[in-house]
Amino acid sequence: MQNKSQQAAGTVVILGTGGTIAGSGDDVGYTAGQMSVQALVGAVPALAGRQLEAEQVAQVDSKDMSHAIWQRLAQRLAHHLAREEVAGVVVTHGTDTLEETAWFLQRVLAPAKPVVLTAAMRPATSLQADGPQNLLDAVTLAAWPGAQGVVAVLQGRVHGPAEVRKRQPFALDAFESGEDGPLAVVQEGQVRALRSWPSGEALGLERIAADAGTWPRVDIVVSHAGADGVVVEALVAAGARGLVVEGTGNGTVHASLLAALARARAAGLPVLRASRCSGGAIVGSPEGALPTAGVLTPAKARVELLLQLLLPPSS
């Protein structure tokens, strides 16, 4: 039974966006985003009697996540977080782009109240469905007075927005926080904090106020054996406003690709380098190296560069 001292007085709002957690079918050939968020809540008996509200923001497979959904989700989160009676908000999401959404929301909102993303590796109809427990843990965390910021909870582990990454394509225990480890664990309705919660200054909704269809194009290019500058040149010609390079090892980039990226920078395009390694952060910045994204994965580095390009022009 949950320790009542760990519960905050207030409502937990659950925003649905689709994903495998709302999927139907077998464990591999399922269709994501088939069940409503209200149905997901109703399928977890332990949530009965809790102060909950549910709202459907989107219904997509998260591989198809869009800037427009991000914008709408951030707006709805800001609305609910501003309500005095709301203790926290849960977002049900697909696993494929969860880490990008987490970083986007943390940078835009940096909320004092918890925003808890959760997901599932098996559809709701699976014999191994992991969604119900993950949803229960997410509601528990969203109601816990010690939580803040945008986090993700899966398999009982709470991950921060900068560190969380999907490391495995099929296993139930698919997410990790790299060398830093999880922020907390949720076990049998109890939250045990392990390190500091995410914080920082919010960029604000005004940063993303423009029509999402007009947001600047930011693309990711990959360094690998035999790489050249053809993709960079094509993306620049297609209207890219910024580029992230997924480097090898410690963010290293093939010489031919590096030359093309240097030309793009000379033409005014910002470029960030990240690493394709599954853990750790880029260390150091040798002379002549491209600016580093540090601990951010290439996908999160793309989000960061996008948000920087959305900075309003100086008056």
Catalytic positions: 20
Instruction: Report CA dihedral (150, 95, 68, 236) to the nearest 10 degrees.
Output: 110
Nearest to 272 by CA among 255, 253, 287, 249: 253
Amino acid at 138: A
The bridge status of strand 184-187 relative to strand 190-193 is: antiparallel
Contact criterion met (CB below 8 Å) for 251 and 289: yes
Nearest to 63 by CA among 163, 136, 169: 169
DSSP output for 89-143: EEEE--STTHHHHHHHHHHHH--SSEEEEE--SS-TTSTT--HHHHHHHHHHHHT
Indicate the SS3 state at residue 51: coil
Contact criterion met (CB below 8 Å) for 104 and 307: yes
